[in-house]
Amino acid sequence: MLDLKLIREDPEGVLERLRRRDPTLSLDELLAQDKRRRELLVQVERLKQQRNRASDEIAELKRQGRDASAEIAQMQEVARRVRELDQELKACEADIERLLVVLPNLPHPSVPVSQRKEDKVLLREWGRKPELGFKPRNHVELGRALGILDFERAARIAGAQFPMHVGLGARLEWALLSLMIDMNVREHGYTLVLPPYLANPTSLFVAGNLPKFGDQLYRCESDDLYLIPTAEVSLANLHRGEILSESDLPLRYAAYSACFRREAGTYGAGERGLIRVHQFNKVELFKFTTAETSYDELDSMVQDAERILQRLGLHYRVMLLPSGDIAQQSAKTVDIEVWLPAQEAYYEVSSCSNCEDYQARGGNVRYRTEEGRIRFVHTLNGSGLATPRLMVAILESFQQEDGSVVVPPALRPYLGGVEAIR
């Protein structure tokens, strides 16, 4: 969530930045409630002070064995008034909380201002589109023909848009995950985490998924738990409520998890097969940093994700997202998009965000500086990477005219040396 003090001190500045993301946002009610809260606080605190002093006096009188009934009678009235004001204050604070949590993070100055998601900015490209010399088959056809993807039987088990990998398809998926874990742990210095796949409501509020995006989540009602849409949820809550030491930062975690998304209302034309699914595998990168280093850490996180695509030999481009298209909790987001030959389009395979102190404030994750001051950490998250579209990219980019698919050399050690799927 945003810093209420900052909103109070510079409402125009905050509102201007908020409206880069959503021109309909307003702070009027929030500011009014905040003012009211502070007025109530002053009132109720004055009464409590009176009560505390009287309590000391009553205690002293009793110790001396003297009568305190006059003072006690007087305090009964004060206590009643305190209860009333406390209730009013509580309602006011609940209103503030409700208004505050729906406000998105402030975009970083480098983020292009636009409500149109097409207005993303190309930062760089790597490689080139593969020249197959024949009309590319899409991954659904390839997967079915090779017997490595089985959506029909998966639907029998769970419904549409659930993938099922079989045989070399499953092994290829596993190989991808193994490669990503190895590179991120051994070459990029992340600590591997296997987190819970279910999370409580608090965790989803901290991560930024609730309250606004609950319709995208699978919920286990009888236990009041949610299936995580990304391991970002688990990792953002890993140090919830802690005060870390500056010397421990940055903390870099890489988590493997399955991810679950309802994708309500997103049935896109042509998004068949693995392009948009309700369940997928992902290695998620997450960092806790100081304010000073978080943007350098964002750059290096994007590069960590890019190196995996480079190792696989997949053509991609890196895009800076505009203000209207970044996630609630993010101040700046960089997407990596891989080229999918049969779709003839670039598709997101990684989304790296700096959430600055937005998640940290909600989760109360702080650190003590060398000088002893306490500040909120910055949190960053990024896919490194999600597998479904990687699988699409591999099948479609490395397909041969005879319908076989050449396995990228980097994956072969994980597949017992298999060079092609046919």
Listed in sequence order, the residues at least 6 apart from 178 whose beta carbon sits closer than 8 Å to its beta carbon are 414
Catalytic, out of 219, 348, 368, 375: 348
* In the complex, least distance from residue 311 CB atom to RNA, rounded to whole angstroms: 35
Residue pair 327/409 in contact (Cβ under 8 Å)? The answer is no
Distance CA 70, CA 67 (A): 8
Please say which residue, 41 or 113, places its beta carbon nearer to RNA.
Answer: 41
Please say which residue, 291 or 418, places its beta carbon nearer to RNA.
Answer: 291
Intra-chain end-to-end CA distance of the chain, in Å: 51
Please say which residue, 78 or 113, places its beta carbon nearer to RNA.
Answer: 78
**Is 16 marked active-site?**
no
**Is 348 marked active-site?**
yes
Please say which residue, 45 or 299, places its beta carbon nearer to RNA.
Answer: 45
* In the complex, least distance from residue 50 CB atom to RNA, rounded to whole angstroms: 8
Asked if the bond preceding 250 is cis, omega within 30° of 0, the reply is yes
DSSP of 377-417, one letter per residue?
A: PEEEEEEEEEHHHHHHHHHHHSB-TTS-EEPPGGGGGGGTT
Residue pair 200/400 in contact (Cβ under 8 Å)? The answer is no
Catalytic, out of 20, 21, 261, 366: 261
Distance CA 295, CA 120 (A): 19
**Is 261 marked active-site?**
yes
Please say which residue, 57 or 419, places its beta carbon nearer to RNA.
Answer: 57
What the block records as the tokens of 111 is 């983020």
* In the complex, least distance from residue 15 CB atom to RNA, rounded to whole angstroms: 18
**Is 389 marked active-site?**
yes
* In the complex, least distance from residue 181 CB atom to RNA, rounded to whole angstroms: 23
Catalytic, out of 351, 353, 383, 397: 351
Residue pair 334/123 in contact (Cβ under 8 Å)? The answer is yes
* In the complex, least distance from residue 79 CB atom to RNA, rounded to whole angstroms: 4
Interaction site with RNA (CB under 7 A)? 4-5, 9, 38, 41-42, 44-46, 48-49, 51-56, 58-59, 62-63, 72, 75-76, 78-79, 83, 90, 243, 366, 373-374
* In the complex, least distance from residue 162 CB atom to RNA, rounded to whole angstroms: 22
Neighbours of 373 (CB within 10 A): 10
Distance CA 354, CA 359 (A): 10
Please say which residue, 375 or 412, places its beta carbon nearer to RNA.
Answer: 375
Q: Which of 308, 315, 304, 305 is nearest to 338 (CA)?
A: 315
Q: Which residues pair with 198 in a beta bridge?
A: 227
* In the complex, least distance from residue 17 CB atom to RNA, rounded to whole angstroms: 18
Residue pair 338/129 in contact (Cβ under 8 Å)? The answer is no
Please say which residue, 5 or 153, places its beta carbon nearer to RNA.
Answer: 5
Buried/exposed 48-77: b ≥16 CB within 10 Å, e otherwise: eeeeeebeeebeebeeeeeebeeeeeebee
Please say which residue, 89 or 395, places its beta carbon nearer to RNA.
Answer: 89
Catalytic, out of 276, 300, 306, 361: 276
Residue pair 315/112 in contact (Cβ under 8 Å)? The answer is no
Residue type (1 letter), 387: T
* In the complex, least distance from residue 55 CB atom to RNA, rounded to whole angstroms: 4
Q: Which of 177, 173, 181, 239 is nearest to 206 (CA)?
A: 239
Residue type (1 letter), 303: Q
What the block records as the tokens of 184 is 């991120």
Active site (catalytic) residues: 261, 276, 348, 351, 389
